[in-house]
Structure 1
């Protein structure tokens, strides 16, 4: 650290009252349960540990209990802005993002109404875990951000606000919250007011940090394959010297009056659709009544079986979609229902229909079967958390913010205990018209809303324990070479191939995917939309079962699945795989094909396309893509205009869907991938089931990708919309190269250095130095079946900064071509690549998809391992030469989608 940086750190620490004091005593064990332990230092700092044997990764989260709820006048958005600032330099680190990248970490920070957190996941290496803990201690105790950082980051946060201002769903959500809370901080969006983002002085940000970033208001959550004693000792050493300020924490006493009322606001925008949304205020998220309504939500709005969804969506010409859920927060919660329809729909009628249907459902109440189905899904979802220590640690941290991390386990118990009478009583108590906000003050008839009951005492949690929830499995392969050795490839009789990865997975989960490669160019020409609808209708039930029954049986088997013309995917406990597969194959053989669902999906697709015709971002993307289109009309890969797509979907009839199923709905060329506790005999048995499917009437022949057109119109494109504060600036080129080409690895690294991460040139220039962009970067996607790779450069900025962003992007591309890359840059990118590849091995569920892709393209795990070795051997000269060879002659088409 430079002397200047050290002085700034001391100033900040002194101002915050966190300068190191005398050595502190060892952490005190506060509580332990279900394999989790919580420890508290003398200064109030808490450490929660969740060790998981044989986990492939470790996760470290620093959480501070401050969010938008605590912000005062002129401070809106300050918690979120401070989150951004705390990714600058700190203590031993000149740049925290670069330090995290150097560790190969997957990292982020988030801010909610209640808390701010910073979290990172690394491979399970004790040295990396130590480094993360020291980094978070520096972030918390020794931040180095300066006024210049605020000037730069403020514009980035403002751009994030403008992105949300361009999203109609975000606008509706924020309006609902404002209508629901008169005084409480939950009514303020976390992103803050533009005036506060732009005008908050640096001193105010420092004061906000001093007020809330203190050891008695923060905690560290460490999970995964960790040495708990080592982690605890290091956390004591790093955080134990922080002094607890003499002043008490600011209080939290603002409450809403239980006043009977209905609030309404109306928004106007050219969004291409109408939305009706309502919110009913509930007690805090840890109370039984709120948990009861949360449990009931799927029974009301689940796509296949919810009572509201059936009445609102399945009625012709009603809503295109309807959802409901509970936003559960510690002080209050909201039950939110939302319906959408095409732009010509009657918005008032849509709102009345939604309210009327909800009132009828609440009056009649849920049935026992519906409740048990919802309970089964909720408990299964909680049980699945045990397979991911990262997800489980995040849930424990949120429970701690609500009062105590053990509330997570108590919530599971309450969900299992709730009776049908409790659930229906909660629905009738809270989902009433005098407790609603719509996005009209109505005169009430004297009824009153009951006050929120007091929060439950947490004493009942003391001394409790629960069975461990985190589950272990066999150690994951450490490399693609090791994976390649473990995969068994098996030819399938007739036409097909299989790949088996037999292993003991976490929680004994299993994955099975079947790719059904179907059709040929003549047979598929002009049938894209009909066959797309046919594929989606396959998932609507079959084998004598309606969609509701079909999904219910799969839910009982704890299955997650997809089904379409291109095959199926299935994840379930190993013991349930065969039964779930039989259900899916029965639906494949004899699909239900409900005509009403066909009409609903067709309307939804048309509404989506018509909305895109008014979105400058989608218009620009479509126009650029058509510049590169060199496929004949009707070709499956042809890029159509949005108007052509609308016309094509309008012409699709149910007979066209049936014709697609008749031609392609049977078994064609099969690729079968299985991951889990399977044997070769299980593969043979699965193939025997698949052979019972009728053969497709049309033969399969792969459709190759054409090389990009030799000449392309490079004239820049611009699309403008009224009242759109955010702009998207993009450049697109199609390159005649495939991932199998000799210099593709070098080109991949070159694009990564140009715009692939937070250390890339584009990101550093537009976000970190210029402060223009919320997102900025470049990507390279290789073609699957031909030399047609996609290079995209993009940035999201304020509309008034679109021209400046375009100039900077073009300048960075030109500079990379002119100057090339240094050896240090290439070495950094190679290290980041290897870390990312190693992390990719940690997801068991992703392996089945990689097996399928490898069988199709030939790029199997052995190919991946060789690709990594080619990446590791690259020189700066090779990387620079590849970029010049492929990007310099390419047609890079720029587009701007902005507001006036």
Structure 2
């Protein structure tokens, strides 16, 4: 039963009204009384006098809170010369605001995960923090400062413009992005959806600062914005504070900008041909559809789900598995407020016939739509859709995104109305919608075709959002669960070792009532040894992946259908079985997976599909300077015996090995190694130790691996390395990747490792680090820049990596800045202030990460292998809390001073 009374939102509203006079009498603030606007599913919305909306969606069992500032303006509202301005403004609003010099720095200090995104219809800013009232209060204050007191400058624009331009250049060299933006332009004659959000280079580079300010004043107004808060929070406290903070916002004298442009139905097929040295071939088509408030869209979407499902839909079977025209094929409904789009795409190797590929894609989708789907297919697609909605009870962050999308379409309660449509649309509605919209004269693939009175589908005016949700009565979405442990120490106490009658098996359990009554099971099977894998890594990787494609009399379609009916998400290979499923279905789902694992079918057509996809991926990588440079760097650190399973290979060698791999080799690898080796069993959910032992009882009946398990040992980091710089240049690549790579003789169990971790964080670990602040914020050289440290648990071969992504002409400047920051750190060390900031941020991020219930089972399983369980994590963090600047500096110099460091640049010529 839910902990949220159905009338809670009204109670919150009345409580806030009672608080306001007291606050006013105390002289703290002028009384601000929000108007209760709507309730649904345990959620509620309120409206301030200035038009600002506050939407509260409490999830009392959650461990975190998500706060979103939603501005209902995106690229759709941009005018001539303003393309990309909504997105550019999103970047600007992470700069200064009111008393805040750097919003990203303030968010990082709170341990928040944060971001901002821009779409055609809206811009949003959101962050997730631990469910602590003081942190939630501070985030509300920060968002109010961002919305009301943004103070971005010309200097900010000059710095960030190059970052946004760098993002544009990255998109311009990504084949998928280029294709999708072209399809977007071809699909709309007049509507703003035809303008990609990133904008035109000329507008990004040349738009005056005053124009950006004017765009901000025009659109960032309280009657065009909303605050959405989800998770575990005090609704009374949040509503009172948010109302007071955002009531200060004022609307300009001009009325709120409106949009009225509509698409005219016309018989036309638009076509665009693109040429790009991408190493791959892609075909895509789009069919224009009605917007989010049209009931038929949801019938259409279920039909598309049946045709396009990756595991059981007909599109992939036809193009990839049977005719082998493509290495991948997919389609989906892109649901948007004004107009939606059916997008179909297929990709193949660089030498594929693009005309044939596109023709096959279009013909399949139009034929499938004309023929319609069966009731059985509809129910399977419907079940998958409803499974997704049911999982939202334990994922308030995803609910927030969907509420935001619905609010932009007119009313956040459309979220519930849409869910109802998934339940009640009929087969006749589905097939009528498919036949109406998926026709050649409604397609973007520029050719004008003559036709006598062609049929052109036209959508009628959609009802208002308020009409659709009027009278809706939805039960509370959130459900009760056990409180999330607040620390690693608490999780360590909650972890229960489960004794098993085997030296080759270990088990551990966290018994708890989870959000959404879900359960997680991880069966990790450590198998094989160095000798068994030597010379056959490619074949064994293919063989291991094939286990997921059926067995025990079930093909992949049937396997998926059974597990979808049980609402399961899963993975299956020689080395693991992972399962997320409602607790009530856990035993049934696990039995299916164990049976398939024991008797896999290893279909040859899936092997051929995987092989073709790998070849296409490697051929594309050979055309990418960053990938080639990265491969060359890895070879510099190769001190393994030849054919060792972990030996780095060049891209050319990888491609040759994949081309040479055969189905028989993959099948033989499974035959040689299949079976239980050393088992690690972890579970989270409403289980008892006896339940876990019962799982082991089933696993113990499985065949044993004929090869004894022995961990594949890494070579220690080499002391001598060729450190000559690597530069890879290729034509038509405006974006560069700059990397400095070192392998260090240390494991993550070393007493020195926590200090090295904090050194990496200060130098380049987050948005307040030295490298980010210099390359991104001050110099505007890089879209992304920082340091990563990847520790190895058993062998001293940990990776330390400095990196930046920059425009190709700025590659040398970015390289110089990275080198300068490394040299400064080695020479001057780190200050106490920097180290204390990094320690606080690390511990706050850890606190947030530890509250991710879904991640518990992975930590438990890893801990059974390397000892890094929650008790180890608690001890590790305690070590970090005791570090001084002198400790961090000394360890950093110990491992990086004189360490062989290979610098590489992959860029355009």
Using the size of structure 2 for normalisation, the TM-score is: 0.96
CA contact under 8 A between 1:175 and 1:439: conserved in structure 2?
Answer: no
CA contact under 8 A between 2:486 and 2:850: conserved in structure 1?
Answer: yes
Aligned partner of 2:351 among 344, 347, 353: 344
CA contact under 8 A between 1:278 and 1:337: conserved in structure 2?
Answer: yes
Counterpart position of 2:494: 486
The runs of 4+ residues in structure 1 deviating greater than 6 Å are none
CA contact under 8 A between 1:54 and 1:472: conserved in structure 2?
Answer: yes
Counterpart position of 2:23: none
Counterpart position of 2:885: 876
Q: Distance in 1 between matches of 2:196 and 2:418?
A: 27
SS in 1 for 2:706: coil
CA contact under 8 A between 1:662 and 1:697: conserved in structure 2?
Answer: no
Is 2:488 the counterpart of 1:476? no
Counterpart position of 1:896: 905
CA contact under 8 A between 1:366 and 1:424: conserved in structure 2?
Answer: yes
Q: Distance in 2 between matches of 1:122 and 1:611?
A: 39
CA contact under 8 A between 2:764 and 2:786: conserved in structure 1?
Answer: yes
1:451, CA displacement in angstroms? 2.0
Counterpart position of 2:631: 622
1:471, CA displacement in angstroms? 2.3
SS in 2 for 1:247: coil
Q: Distance in 2 between matches of 1:358 and 1:326?
A: 13
Within 5 Å, give how 1:74-93 maps onto structure 2: 74-93=81-100
Q: Distance in 2 between matches of 1:580 and 1:384?
A: 17
Counterpart position of 1:372: 379
Q: Distance in 2 between matches of 1:127 and 1:562?
A: 40
Is 2:823 the counterpart of 1:814? yes
Counterpart position of 1:16: none
SS in 1 for 2:457: coil
Deviations 1:644-678 (A, max 9, x none): 11221222222212221122111111000000011
Counterpart position of 1:601: 610
1:236, CA displacement in angstroms? 1.5
1:517, CA displacement in angstroms? 0.2
Q: 1:439 to 1:524 in 2, by over 3 A?
A: farther
Deviations 1:348-403 (A, max 9, x none): 01111112212221222100100100000011101111111121122111100000
SS in 2 for 1:391: helix
CA contact under 8 A between 2:111 and 2:129: conserved in structure 1?
Answer: yes
Aligned partner of 1:442 among 449, 463, 473: 449
Deviations 1:671-718 (A, max 9, x none): 000000111111110001101110011110111211111110001111
SS in 1 for 2:718: coil
Is 2:184 the counterpart of 1:177? yes
Is 2:768 the counterpart of 1:759? yes
CA contact under 8 A between 1:320 and 1:341: conserved in structure 2?
Answer: yes
Within 5 Å, give how 1:581-596 maps onto structure 2: 581-596=590-605
Q: Distance in 1 between matches of 2:30 and 2:507?
A: 61
1:460, CA displacement in angstroms? 4.0
CA contact under 8 A between 1:55 and 1:472: conserved in structure 2?
Answer: no
Q: Distance in 2 between matches of 1:26 and 1:373?
A: 47
1:327, CA displacement in angstroms? 1.0
1:291, CA displacement in angstroms? 1.5
CA contact under 8 A between 2:417 and 2:468: conserved in structure 1?
Answer: no
SS in 2 for 1:314: helix
Gaps of 5+ in 2: 1-28
Counterpart position of 1:496: 505
Counterpart position of 1:580: 589
CA contact under 8 A between 1:521 and 1:703: conserved in structure 2?
Answer: yes
CA contact under 8 A between 2:62 and 2:515: conserved in structure 1?
Answer: no
1:492, CA displacement in angstroms? 2.7
SS in 1 for 2:274: coil
Within 5 Å, give how 1:853-864 maps onto structure 2: 853-864=862-873
Aligned partner of 2:434 among 427, 438, 459: 427
Q: Distance in 2 between matches of 1:728 and 1:699?
A: 42
Is 2:401 the counterpart of 1:394? yes
Q: Distance in 1 between matches of 2:230 and 2:308?
A: 35
Q: Distance in 1 between matches of 2:282 and 2:199?
A: 24
Q: Distance in 2 between matches of 1:35 and 1:552?
A: 32
1:246, CA displacement in angstroms? 2.8
Within 5 Å, give how 1:505-584 maps onto structure 2: 505-584=514-593
Q: Distance in 2 between matches of 1:303 and 1:141?
A: 45
Is 2:712 the counterpart of 1:703? yes
Q: 1:672 to 1:534 in 2, by over 3 A?
A: same
Counterpart position of 2:809: 800
1:751, CA displacement in angstroms? 0.6
Counterpart position of 1:308: 315
Q: Distance in 1 between matches of 2:296 and 2:740?
A: 52
Aligned partner of 1:782 among 752, 767, 791: 791
Counterpart position of 1:353: 360
SS in 1 for 2:447: coil
More displaced 10-residue stretch of structure 1: 24-33 or 730-739:
24-33
More displaced 10-residue stretch of structure 1: 268-277 or 453-462:
453-462
Counterpart position of 2:35: 28
Is 2:851 the counterpart of 1:842? yes
Q: How many residues align?
A: 879
Aligned partner of 1:128 among 135, 144, 161: 135
Q: Distance in 2 between matches of 1:740 and 1:450?
A: 65
Counterpart position of 1:461: 469
1:23, CA displacement in angstroms? 4.7
Is 2:735 the counterpart of 1:726? yes
Deviations 1:330-352 (A, max 9, x none): 11111000011111111101111
CA contact under 8 A between 1:508 and 1:574: conserved in structure 2?
Answer: yes
Aligned partner of 2:689 among 676, 680, 705: 680
Counterpart position of 1:382: 389
Gaps of 5+ in 1: 1-21
SS in 2 for 1:609: helix
Aligned partner of 2:298 among 279, 291, 295: 291
CA contact under 8 A between 1:330 and 1:402: conserved in structure 2?
Answer: yes
1:181, CA displacement in angstroms? 0.9
Q: Distance in 1 between matches of 2:110 and 2:559?
A: 46
Within 5 Å, give how 1:41-440 maps onto structure 2: 41-438=48-445, 440=447
More displaced 10-residue stretch of structure 1: 516-525 or 292-301:
292-301
CA contact under 8 A between 1:24 and 1:240: conserved in structure 2?
Answer: no
1:439, CA displacement in angstroms? 9.4
Deviations 1:8-39 (A, max 9, x none): xxxxxxxxxxxxxx956400000111111000
Q: Distance in 2 between matches of 1:491 and 1:534?
A: 32
Q: Distance in 2 between matches of 1:250 and 1:242?
A: 17
Q: Distance in 2 between matches of 1:492 and 1:684?
A: 7
1:122, CA displacement in angstroms? 0.8
CA contact under 8 A between 1:282 and 1:332: conserved in structure 2?
Answer: yes
CA contact under 8 A between 2:498 and 2:693: conserved in structure 1?
Answer: no
1:226, CA displacement in angstroms? 1.2
CA contact under 8 A between 1:31 and 1:462: conserved in structure 2?
Answer: no
CA contact under 8 A between 1:802 and 1:898: conserved in structure 2?
Answer: yes
SS in 1 for 2:137: helix
Using the size of structure 1 for normalisation, the TM-score is: 0.96
Q: Distance in 1 between matches of 2:554 and 2:744?
A: 48
Is 2:700 the counterpart of 1:656? no
SS in 2 for 1:533: helix
SS in 1 for 2:548: helix
1:608, CA displacement in angstroms? 1.2
Counterpart position of 2:22: none
Counterpart position of 1:15: none
1:283, CA displacement in angstroms? 0.8
1:781, CA displacement in angstroms? 0.4
Q: Distance in 2 between matches of 1:25 and 1:510?
A: 44
Q: Distance in 2 between matches of 1:444 and 1:524?
A: 62
